[in-house]
């Protein structure tokens, strides 16, 4: 008869005792996401994996280096650098093993062979197509995008090409696809039939059921059947957003809906896309908002304004910044030197040269103000109880990292499976922050680290004494710690009892119990309590020594920061003086809006860059056409852009990412530059900078602190040497 303790072990560890205990080291718990309740993944003493049924019968004739959780009746298995699938009976899906094997989508899984060529297999393990491709995407609506010899094709579930003509590029949508050949665009359906009578110069993606097209310098819209929205062709147009699109006629702006009707009888100097039911408009050099019925939000027009986010929009009045809601009411009585729009409940504000975040109640998230906050990356801020209070984490918009699975390797490292792929870490990953950071825990030293995926560096940020794992336990110094009602409980006696128990049963536990109950905790005897207290005393001593060292390091760092703050204050006073000078040229900048804003096409990265050894360059034939291309979504990371003319271009500039931080002789005339851009160490000798009249332009000179410049470097036509004085970096090198 089983003892009460054995019943407890069964409940907490999901062990099947009638399996040969000499062979099994551990079994994966059912709460780890296995979709087959009657099949359990087991690990044998030879460090290989197999599957067993509820009676303890091993199902597969061979064992594998790893088995992933079952999904739709199949589990991915790994052996000798290759992959296959097994079913719930332990039978292999295919006789052939593959270099990589994806998930099933619409009945087909993408595979690659040893030559890194792509194909598909069905649920019977049969190869779909006789042709192997250089690239392939998963099936969607019965069609898969494939690439061969630098050309794109569409493949159906019969293994046949839908459109036999090779294409320079193909974008798939529901019911149709946009194809590109020699810079011209058309639509095809699932049968490979062309839907448009003519080939267009521009064809954007579908938004609200319509795609923007360009012909003979005029713009219109087509639906997924290739039919034009209306007979009207416009000077300029933008994609539909929230049911409306911006169009321009006679250098004036308005909106049209998906029926082709104008939103308002009023035409404006400038309009922006709808966001949260309101669109920003400009009239007589002032700004306001209109709703989806064409009505003005407020009787008051502002010096500047930005779009709504989380129910609030930044506005500017008398050179100061605040926020209004959708009723036109101010968020608070506090006015700031600068402000960004809200994202996920928080907005970046600036005052006296330092930055902070406020919530939608108008309250600051921290009593401390920070410098060097980059508004392009700090979209979302949260205080995490697992780390020291002085750390503030931010999440980028393009957050794709999210932990999907963590597996320990035989060498003691960890493979973290994310939406971005596999990442190897030294310590166990337990949480993701944005797309750049992982929180990891060092179980041996009870320490939490923040891991920068880009620089591959670990930063110690706190203790893991209250870290909550997915399986709710921490092992440290031969102890197991469990989370219980928000507290960490030391249950070392259970660790020893479990090992003693499994030692007698010729097996060993390497997995944690789910959650300890209060009854379990009360089982500690006097001897174990004494040992526990003695070890706690030693641990507290080490912790105190560590805290003293951290305090000394903190004092040294504060002294260095004080010196930097004094330098920043001097820079801020100089910026204030330059701000007054900048106000005198606003009228000149506003004339740029009369030039017009012709819709510029978006292009993919592979169509604009040439791959060279160690870096990239912009294709020569495109260098004098950049102003006609939408560069806002293009990353110039590791791209050589020295000497390139970006005049009037729509570009997001991140100087720290470009090749060798080299912007020499570049022309950024008319490009909006954020004052938060980091030019430290960037070579801008001979470069030209100026702003335009766009209301999103910050009315402050960019922060060129730490940049390498000379007398030929200009900002709004004036030499940086005259504005900021001689470059200290160049002068120090001369000395």
Q: Is 712 in contact with 719 (CB distance < 8 Å)?
A: yes
The pLDDT of residue 84 is above 60: yes
Residue 581: the pLDDT is: 58
The pLDDT of residue 510 is above 70: no
Look at the alpha carbons of 430, 637, 708, 720 in this order and tell me if their dihedral is positive or negative. negative
Q: Is 337 in contact with 351 (CB distance < 8 Å)?
A: yes
Contacts of 508 (CB under 8 A, 6+ apart): 25, 499, 502
Which has more confidence, 446 or 509? 446
Residue 648: the pLDDT is: 81
Mean pLDDT, rounded, of the chain: 76
The pLDDT of residue 254 is above 90: yes
Helices (H), 479-625: 492-504, 518-521, 526-583, 586-590
Distance between CA atoms of residues 410 and 391, nearest Å: 33
Output DSSP code: residue 262. Answer: B
Distance between CA atoms of residues 64 and 486, nearest Å: 39
- Residue 49: CB atoms within 10 A of its CB come to 21
Residues of the chain with pLDDT > 70: what percent? 72
Across 182-191, 407-416, 618-627, 700-709, which has the greatest mean pLDDT? Answer: 182-191
Which whole-number Å values give the CA distances from 30 to 205, 522, 603, in the listed order? 43, 28, 47
**Residue 580, both tokens:** 């007054």
The pLDDT of residue 387 is above 60: no
Output DSSP code: residue 74. Answer: E
The pLDDT of residue 382 is above 50: no
Distance between CA atoms of residues 530 and 533, nearest Å: 5
For residue 631, list its beta bridge partners: 651
Which has more confidence, 22 or 291? 291
Distance between CA atoms of residues 549 and 529, nearest Å: 31
The pLDDT of residue 245 is above 90: yes
Residue 246: the pLDDT is: 94
Contacts of 533 (CB under 8 A, 6+ apart): none
SS3 track for 218-260: EEEEECCCCCECCCCCECEECCCECCEEEEEECCEEEEEECCC
Q: Which of 405, 311, 410 is nearest to 362 (CA)?
A: 311
Predicted confidence (pLDDT) per residue in 181-203, tens digit: 888 899 998 888 899 988 998 78
Among 227-231, 241-245, 247-251, 547-551, the range scoring the smallest mean pLDDT is 547-551
Contacts of 224 (CB under 8 A, 6+ apart): 173, 174, 175, 176, 187, 206, 209
Residue 469: the pLDDT is: 34
Predicted confidence (pLDDT) per residue in 514-539, tens digit: 333 333 334 445 555 456 556 656 76
Rama region for 397: left / alpha / beta (φ>0; ψ in -120 to 50; rest): alpha
Predicted confidence (pLDDT) per residue in 1-57, tens digit: 333 433 433 443 333 333 333 333 334 433 344 456 678 788 776 778 888 887 778
Predicted confidence (pLDDT) per residue in 320-357, tens digit: 999 999 999 999 999 999 998 887 778 888 999 888 88
Residue 220: the pLDDT is: 93
CA torsion 712-713-715-720 (nearest 10°) is -90
Q: Which of 482, 404, 414 is nearest to 442 (CA)?
A: 414
| Overall size of the chain counted in residues | 735
**Residue 478, both tokens:** 């031969």
Residue 619: the pLDDT is: 85
Residue 582: the pLDDT is: 61
Helix (H, G, I), strand (E, B) or coil at 91: coil
Residue 602: the pLDDT is: 58
Distance between CA atoms of residues 291 and 274, nearest Å: 8
Residue 405: the pLDDT is: 76
Helix (H, G, I), strand (E, B) or coil at 513: coil
Predicted confidence (pLDDT) per residue in 90-120, tens digit: 999 999 999 989 999 999 999 999 888 999 9
Predicted confidence (pLDDT) per residue in 434-485, tens digit: 667 777 888 777 677 778 888 888 877 655 543 333 334 444 444 444 443 3
Which has more confidence, 570 or 389? 570
**Residue 48, both tokens:** 């290989």
Q: Which of 66, 50, 67 is nearest to 58 (CA)?
A: 50
Q: Is 225 in contact with 195 (CB distance < 8 Å)?
A: yes
Residue 446: the pLDDT is: 67
Which has more confidence, 490 or 511? 490
Question: What number of helices (H) and strands (E) belong to the chain?
Answer: 7, 51
| Angle, alpha carbons 280-286-291 (nearest 5°) | 30
Over range 153-171, report the average pLDDT.
89
β strands within 21-167, DSSP E: 24-27, 39-44, 49-53, 66-67, 74-79, 82-87, 100-105, 108-112, 118-121, 135-136, 143-148, 151-156
For residue 509, list its beta bridge partners: none
Q: Which of 374, 377, 483 is nearest to 435 (CA)?
A: 377
Over range 69-73, report the average pLDDT.
85
Q: Is 114 in contact with 106 (CB distance < 8 Å)?
A: no
Residue 335: the pLDDT is: 94
Output DSSP code: residue 304. Answer: E
Contacts of 638 (CB under 8 A, 6+ apart): 615, 616, 657, 658, 659
Q: What is the helix (H) or strand (E) element at residue 728, kind and residue range?
A: helix 728-734
| Angle, alpha carbons 696-392-402 (nearest 5°) | 90
Residue 526: the pLDDT is: 58
Q: Is 298 in contact with 328 (CB distance < 8 Å)?
A: yes
Q: Which of 415, 413, 396, 397 is nearest to 405 (CA)?
A: 415
N-term to C-term CA, the chain: 89
b vs e for 278-294, b when ≥16 Cβ sit within 10 Å of the residue's Cβ? bbbbbbeeebbbbeeee
Q: For 728, phi and psi rounded to 5 degrees?
A: -65, -35
CA torsion 667-673-675-677 (nearest 10°) is -80
Which has more confidence, 530 or 257? 257
Give me the residue spans of the domains in the chain. 403-541, 594-734
Q: What is the helix (H) or strand (E) element at residue 11, kind and residue range?
A: helix 4-13
Radius of gyration of the chain (CA): 31
Q: Is 631 in contact with 605 (CB distance < 8 Å)?
A: no
Distance between CA atoms of residues 501 and 507, nearest Å: 9
Burial of 689 (0-12, 13-18, 19+ CB in 10 A): buried
Predicted confidence (pLDDT) per residue in 405-446, tens digit: 777 777 778 888 777 778 888 888 877 766 677 778 887 776
């Amino acid at each position: 008869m089983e003892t009460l303790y054995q019943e407890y072990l069964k409940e907490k560890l999901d062990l099947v005792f009638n399996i040969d205990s000499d062979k099994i080291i551990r079994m994966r718990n059912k709460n780890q996401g296995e979709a087959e309740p009657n099949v359990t993944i087991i690990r044998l003493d030879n460090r290989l994996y197999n599957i067993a049924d509820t009676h303890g019968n091993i199902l597969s004739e061979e064992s594998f280096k790893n088995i992933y959780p079952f999904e739709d009746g199949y589990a991915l298995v790994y052996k000798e650098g290759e992959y296959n699938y097994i079913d719930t009976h332990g039978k292999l899906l295919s006789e052939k093993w593959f270099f990589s094997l994806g998930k099933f989508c619409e009945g087909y899984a993408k595979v690659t062979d040893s030559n890194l060529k792509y194909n598909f297999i069905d649920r019977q393990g049969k190869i779909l197509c006789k042709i192997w491709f250089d690239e392939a995407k998963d099936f969607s609506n019965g069609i898969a995008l494939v690439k061969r010899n630098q050309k794109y094709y569409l493949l159906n579930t019969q293994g046949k090409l839908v459109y036999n003509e090779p294409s320079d590029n193909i974008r798939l949508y529901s019911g149709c696809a946009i194809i590109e050949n020699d810079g011209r665009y058309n639509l095809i359906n699932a049968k490979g039939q062309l839907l448009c009578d003519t080939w267009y110069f521009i064809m954007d993606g579908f938004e609200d059921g319509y795609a923007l097209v360009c012909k003979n310098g005029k713009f219109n819209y087509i639906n997924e059947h290739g039919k034009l929205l209306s007979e009207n062709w416009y000077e300029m147009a933008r994609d539909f957003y929230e049911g409306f699109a911006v169009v321009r006629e006679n250098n004036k702006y308005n909106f049209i809906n998906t029926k082709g009707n104008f939103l308002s009888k009023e035409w404006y100097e400038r309009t922006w896309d709808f966001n949260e039911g309101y669109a920003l408009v400009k009239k007589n050099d002032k700004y306001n908002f209109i709703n989806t019925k064409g009505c003005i939000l407020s009787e008051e027009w502002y010096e500047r304004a930005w779009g709504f986010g989380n129910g609030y929009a930044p506005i500017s009045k008398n050179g100061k910044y605040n926020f209004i809601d959708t009723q036109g009411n101010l968020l608070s009585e506090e006015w700031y030197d600068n402000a960004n729009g809200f994202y996920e409940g928080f907005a970046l504000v600036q005052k006296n040269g330092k930055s902070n975040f406020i919530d939608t109640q108008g309250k600051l998230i921290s009593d401390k103000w920070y410098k060097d906050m980059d508004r392009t990356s700090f979209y979302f801020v949260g205080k995490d109880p697992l780390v020291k209070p002085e750390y503030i984490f931010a999440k980028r918009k393009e957050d794709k990292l999210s932990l999907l699975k963590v597996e320990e390797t035989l060498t003691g490292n960890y493979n973290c499976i994310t939406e971005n792929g596999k990442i190897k870490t030294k310590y166990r990953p337990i949480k993701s922050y944005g797309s750049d950071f992982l929180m990891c825990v060092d179980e041996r030293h009870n320490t939490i680290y923040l891991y920068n995926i880009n620089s591959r560096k670990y930063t110690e940020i706190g203790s893991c004494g209250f870290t909550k794992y997915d399986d709710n336990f921490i092992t440290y110094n031969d102890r197991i710690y469990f989370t219980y009602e928000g507290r960490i409980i030391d249950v070392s006696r259970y660790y020893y009892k479990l090992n003693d128990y499994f030692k007698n049963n010729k097996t060993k536990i390497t997995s944690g119990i789910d959650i300890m109950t209060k009854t379990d905790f009360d089982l500690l005897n006097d001897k174990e309590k004494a040992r526990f207290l003695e070890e706690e005393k030693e641990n507290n001593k080490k912790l105190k020594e560590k805290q003293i060292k951290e305090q000394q390091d903190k004092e040294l760092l504060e002294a260095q920061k004080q010196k930097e703050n004094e330098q920043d204050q001097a820079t801020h006073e100089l910026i204030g003086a330059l701000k007054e000078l900048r106000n005198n040229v606003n009228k000149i900048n506003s004339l740029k809006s009369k030039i017009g804003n012709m819709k510029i096409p978006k292009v993919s990265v592979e169509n604009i860059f040439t791959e060279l050894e160690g870096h990239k360059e912009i294709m020569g034939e495109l260098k004098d056409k950049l102003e006609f291309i939408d560069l806002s979504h293009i990353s110039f990371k590791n791209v050589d852009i020295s000497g390139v003319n970006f005049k009037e271009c729509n570009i997001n500039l991140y100087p720290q990412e470009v090749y060798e931080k080299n912007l020499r002789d570049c022309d950024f005339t008319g490009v909006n530059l954020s004052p938060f851009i980091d030019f430290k160490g960037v070579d801008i000798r001979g470069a030209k900078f100026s702003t335009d009249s766009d209301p999103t332009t910050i009315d402050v000179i960019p922060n060129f602190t730490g940049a390498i410049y000379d007398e030929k470097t200009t900002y709004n036509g004036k030499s940086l040497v005259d504005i900021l004085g001689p470059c200290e970096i160049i002068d120090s090198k001369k000395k």
